[in-house]
Amino acid sequence: MADLRFGTFLAPNMMPVYTAIADAVGDSLGLTTELVVETDYENCRNDVNDVCFVCSLPYVHFEREGVAPAVPIAAPVLQGDRYADRPIYFSDVIVAVDSDLRTFADLRGRSWAYNEPLSQSGYGITRYHLVSTGETNGYFGDVIEAGYHETSIRMVAAGQVDASAIDSQVLGVEMRDHPELNEQLRIIDALGPSTIQPVAVSKRFDQQFRDDVTDIFLNLHTREGFRRILDHGMVERFVAVGPSDYDDIRMMLEACERAGFMEIR
């Protein structure tokens, strides 16, 4: 059994980055590591992992329930002017290249795919957008759970669904690594920004350990040979974050709760 268990709840196309980071943290601390792909947020709730790459929405949910087992310590700053040197991302709304859809406002009655309901990028931000525009009486036609952003992307490209909101980091990596998608998709809108998904360390570890791990993340971009790894994920560097950095996610969730609108429709 490894000394440190890392868990990822995020997009599969970032696995090479997460794997290299887990190895780098272990190397720096002199500990063995393993990275586990998680499919059940109960493992997050039950504090199974020592370090997590986790979506911000379940973190906020668990915190509000009083069961948040981990503390955000760091988050990536993505490459590109749109991110303004901040740990944020957008949810880009995509349609097929030959679609007649031009903006989110054109999507009434159309089919919509999302990755999973505890995703801020695919679900939470869309739900909040509908609340903020007063569209809580039913907006889309079919609403389909795809499982992963990568699946939603291909459903839109194939014409199986009209549109989807995709994490801009995930979409950027997919369109770079699969250039044919650039001929099949258009971005018609962008929701957000949202504070980007954190790296969180279990509260089982003391503050000194959390500080040590944070320091490793903040210096990954200076690590010999690591620039290539970060470039794969379109990451410029990591910066320190804490619970208060996710107040925007809390605000969006609370707005949806006040409106009694928790399920996209």
Q: Could you tell me which residues come within 8 angstroms of residue 72 by beta carbon, excluding any fewer than 6 positions away? A: 59, 198, 199, 200, 241, 242, 243, 245, 246
Listed residue (124, 126, 98) closest to 112, CA to CA: 126
Q: What is the pLDDT of residue 66?
A: 81
Q: What is the pLDDT of residue 172?
A: 98
Q: What is the pLDDT of residue 44?
A: 81
The bridge status of strand 235-240 relative to strand 143-145 is: unpaired
Give CA–CA dist 226/87, Å, rounded.
19
Q: pTM value? A: 0.95
Q: What is the pLDDT of residue 9?
A: 86
In order of their start, the domains of the chain are 4-79+197-248 (3.40.190.10), 88-194 (3.40.190.10)
Q: What is the pLDDT of residue 23?
A: 97
Q: What is the pLDDT of residue 79?
A: 98
Q: Which two tokens stand for residue 252?
A: 């969006």
Give CA–CA dist 153/158, Å, rounded.
9
By 3-state DSSP, what share of the chain in percent is helix, strand and coil, each rounded to 5? 45, 25, 35
Q: What is the pLDDT of residue 245?
A: 98
Tokens 């399920």, located at residue: 263
Q: What is the pLDDT of residue 82?
A: 98
CA 127 to chain centre: 15
Q: What is the pLDDT of residue 21?
A: 97
For the chain, which ranges sit under pLDDT 70? Answer: none
Q: What is the pLDDT of residue 80?
A: 97
DSSP assignment letter at 165: E
3-state secondary structure of 246: helix
